[in-house]
Amino acid sequence: MEYLVYKVVRLLFLLLGLIPEPVAGKIASAIGGIWYRRDKRHREVAIKNMTTAFGKEMSEEEIRKLSRKAFDHIALVPFEMGRSLRWSWSDLKARFRIYGIFHLKAAHAKGKGVLVLTCHMGNWEFLPVSMGATGYQISAVYRPLDFKPMDRFILEMRERFGCRMYPTKKAVKGILDELSQGNAVGLLSDQNAPKPHQSVFVTMFGKTASANNGIAQLALTTGAPVIPYFVARDGRFVRGEFGPEIPLVNTGDFEADVRTNTQNFSYAMEKMVRKFPEQWFWVHNRWKTRPRDEAQG
């Protein structure tokens, strides 16, 4: 039964992928509009998040327009996923425009592997396939879905161009193995981190946020360079952009260095979001976990 459900899921995405791009865009916009109007909880989360990020730069009306675009953006993701199922290597290279690959090359040349800091920008399902198009061996860490047929479909889609995926609970050994071979490992680190032993508080868009401390710990213990990377829709193409290496602070005080580097990684992600602000995953409550000494609310 699980296999049959998986086949149905795959078929549904294939059918979505057959819809011409202009038509898919209009359908996604209609779905986004209905979702935006009906889903009060996520609408309010998105507006609250954007107000935190851009409240001093944008008017309330501008923030509402931006939040509406964010819903359209997310609604378009499944159509793009379905379309990408029919891509070959040549289709992949024709569709993507990768910028800053020299940053990946320079980091790779250090021979310690590369930690690729990324976030839920653009169609985040394109992160594994786009990094695979660089020609370097790429792996990434993911959280398995509870719905197993969908999890199987997503995993196959992410791995089909050579990216190796490691589930979060078993990721450390896989990451260390990849780094020891000089490979690159992609790590999403832009969401709320609720577990105290896995997080530190940093500033993101001027407000305290709980961030996962794993990348900083890995960088400090392995010496692997950290570079930022994101994907985003950019006209007819998907833009993949690597940024310069984020200098690692290593004073010998491990705990303090983890905080400092995690903060620097947060700044790097903020820069990514600012480039295509309507394409970040604003419906996630990024600032949910608060410091103990801060009043709730």
List, as one string, the DSSP characters of 90-148. HHHHHHEEEE-HHHHHHHHTTSS-EEEEE-SBSSTTHHHHHHHTTSS-EEEEEPPPSSH
**pLDDT tens digits, 75-113:** 999 999 999 999 998 998 899 999 999 999 999 999 999
Please report the pLDDT score of residue 133 as a whole number.
81
Please report the pLDDT score of residue 169 as a whole number.
86
CA atoms within 13 A on the CB side of 22: 0
Q: How far is CA 93 from CA 2, 73, 89, 118, 134, in A?
A: 34, 23, 6, 21, 9
Q: How many domains does the chain have?
A: 1
Contact between 282 and 45 under an 8 Å Cβ cutoff? The reply is yes
Given phi > 0 = left and psi -120 to 50 = alpha, else beta, which region is 79? Answer: alpha
Q: How many Cβ atoms sit within 10 Å of the Cβ of residue 296?
A: 4
Q: Is pLDDT above 80 for 224?
A: yes
Q: Which of these ranges, 24-33, 42-51, 158-167, has the smallest mean pLDDT?
A: 158-167
Q: Is pLDDT above 70 for 114?
A: yes
Residues of the chain with pLDDT > 70, as a percent, come to 99
Greater model confidence, 238 or 131: 238
Q: Across residues 283-290, what is the average pLDDT?
A: 96
> How many angstroms separate the CA atoms of 17 and 91, rounded?
14
Across the chain, mean pLDDT equals 95
> How many angstroms separate the CA atoms of 80 and 98, rounded?
18
Q: Is pLDDT above 60 for 296?
A: no
- The H or E element that residue 200 is part of is strand 199-204
The two tokens of residue 119 are: 């976030």
Q: Across residues 286-291, what is the average pLDDT?
A: 95
Q: pLDDT band at 135, cuts 50/70/90?
A: confident
> How many angstroms separate the CA atoms of 77 and 121, rounded?
11
Q: pLDDT band at 295, cuts 50/70/90?
A: low
Backbone angles phi, psi at 172, to 5 degrees: -60, -50
Q: Across residues 186-212, what is the average pLDDT?
A: 96
Q: Is pLDDT above 70 for 200?
A: yes
Please report the pLDDT score of residue 297 as a whole number.
42
Q: Is pLDDT above 90 for 164?
A: yes
Please name the residues in contact with 277: beta carbons below 8 A apart, sequence gap of 6 or more: 50, 53, 54, 66
Q: Is pLDDT above 80 for 7?
A: yes
Given phi > 0 = left and psi -120 to 50 = alpha, else beta, which region is 196? Answer: alpha
Q: Is pLDDT above 80 for 152?
A: yes
Q: Is pLDDT above 90 for 63?
A: yes
Q: Across residues 13-39, what is the average pLDDT?
A: 97
Q: Is pLDDT above 70 for 241?
A: yes
Q: Across residues 100-128, what is the average pLDDT?
A: 96
> How many angstroms separate the CA atoms of 45 and 51, rounded?
10
Please report the pLDDT score of residue 227 as a whole number.
98
Q: Is pLDDT above 60 for 66?
A: yes
Question: Structural domain of residue 279, as residue ranges?
Answer: 1-294
**CA angle (125, 131, 137) in 5-degree steps:** 125
Contact between 54 and 259 under an 8 Å Cβ cutoff? The reply is no
Please report the pLDDT score of residue 118 as a whole number.
96
Please name the residues in contact with 78: beta carbons below 8 A apart, sequence gap of 6 or more: 13, 16
